[in-house]
Amino acid sequence: MPEPWTLAAFLTGLHPRHCEEDSWDWLQKREPPRVAYLAVARTGSESLQKAVGGMHKRHAPHDHACTLRDVESAGATHVLISLRHPAERIASGVKRRLEGISANRDSEQNADFRAAFLPHGSAALNAFVASLRDPAHPLHARAMHDSMRQNWLTPVSEFYLANGHLYDRAARRGFVCTPTLADDVWRVTKAWGVKGVRVQAKEASSHRSNTTLAPLSAENRAWVESTWAADVALWNTYCAATARSDRVEANAPVWGELLPARKPHQVTTTAPESLHEIHG
């Protein structure tokens, strides 16, 4: 029987990847506040890259391998961390691969992903998740292979935040949510007293998705929410549930600052790509 896909095995496969040594080192030469962000794929990370770069008036890196520890080690005093429900992240990632958008270094796996799942049409999302979940699925081996370089499967909690087991608490951390990214960045940076970090709500899009995917089946959705349970918990804490502005780092399951109260976000995998799905 083939091996099942597990998050632990996926993270083991990511181990050789590391943050480029000089990605954020330039921050150390800046006067505080030294704002950085984590490039969490398919959460609006490219929009955060532009916002942080605009504040510093220079190009900010967009390195999916850089963790909170990496940017804190580079001298960041404030870190923006974008969150999205795992079901939506995966749906957005599948759309991106079906449309043939990929980096050259990943082209073989991404091309095979497209060849394997594009024939499933609107059922491609369910076919991919089912093939990961079920070792007996005829596409399981290909899904296992093709998944290993998909940054949008990388968990926020276990990879970027090291499950909260960090060597220090040097930087202030602000969680922002993909559906309200521009507003959340404004709220967090205002609370920090940091000026000049703005996500442009009307910025031009370089990629709009016309791909429609059927929603996840109950079985597939339950598997996603179980596998990425820690990220679902982050989403529920900072984005889905009403958040009180006076609940801050020590009271949260992972260090971070909650935004002022807002209406809960509705999670769907069928909505058209929003601005922040388009930009990372």
Choose between 248 and 38: higher pLDDT: 38
Query: How large is the average pLDDT for residues 61-80?
Result: 94
Task: Measure Cα distances from 22 to 26, 34, 276 in Å.
Answer: 8, 16, 27
DSSP 84-128: --HHHHHHHHHHHHHTT---GGGHHHHHHHHHHHGGGGGGHHHHH
Burial class (CB in 10 A: 0-12, 13-18, 19+), 262: middle
pLDDT surpasses 50 at 64: yes
Residue 113 resides in a domain: no
pLDDT value of position 266: 52
Question: ∠223-127-6 over CA atoms, to 5°?
Answer: 40
pLDDT value of position 278: 37
* % the chain with pLDDT above 70: 78
Radius of gyration, alpha carbons of the chain: 18
Taking only the tens place, the pLDDT of each residue in 190-217 is: 999 998 889 976 543 444 567 899 999 9
Distance CA(104)–CA(242), nearest Å, equals 41
What pairs with residue 79 in β-bridges? Answer: 36, 173
**10-24, 102-116, 201-215: segment of lowest average pLDDT:** 201-215
Residue 72 resides in a domain: yes
- How many other CB atoms are found less than 10 A from the CB of residue 245? 12
pLDDT surpasses 90 at 78: yes
pLDDT value of position 54: 94
φ, ψ for residue 8, nearest 5 deg: -65, -45
Do residues 110 and 96 make contact, with C-beta atoms less than 8 angstroms apart?
A: no
95-109, 235-249, 258-272: which is most confident: 95-109
Residue 92 resides in a domain: yes
Task: Output the six-digit token pair for 6.
Answer: 């597990």
**59-68, 106-115, 182-191: segment of lowest average pLDDT:** 106-115
Residue 86 resides in a domain: yes
Confidence of residue 113 (pLDDT cuts 50, 70, 90): very high
Q: Please name which of 10, 15, 209, 224 lies closest in space to residue 98, comparing C-alpha atoms.
A: 209
pLDDT surpasses 50 at 41: yes
Structural domain range at position 35 = 15-102+151-206+229-278
Query: How large is the average pLDDT for residues 272-280?
Result: 45
Residue 109 resides in a domain: no
7-21, 50-64, 204-218: which is most confident: 50-64
- Which residues are within 8 A (CB) of 34 and not within 5 positions of it... i.e. 6 or more apart? 27, 28, 75, 76, 77, 78
Count Cα neighbours of 216 within 13 Å in the Cβ-side half-sphere. 24
pLDDT value of position 103: 54
Choose between 220 and 191: higher pLDDT: 220
Do residues 143 and 5 make contact, with C-beta atoms less than 8 angstroms apart?
A: yes
Residue 170 resides in a domain: yes
> What is the total count of domains within the chain?
1
Do residues 44 and 175 make contact, with C-beta atoms less than 8 angstroms apart?
A: no
**15-24, 31-40, 191-200, 254-263: segment of lowest average pLDDT:** 254-263
Residue 26 resides in a domain: yes
Residue 133 resides in a domain: no
pLDDT value of position 1: 74
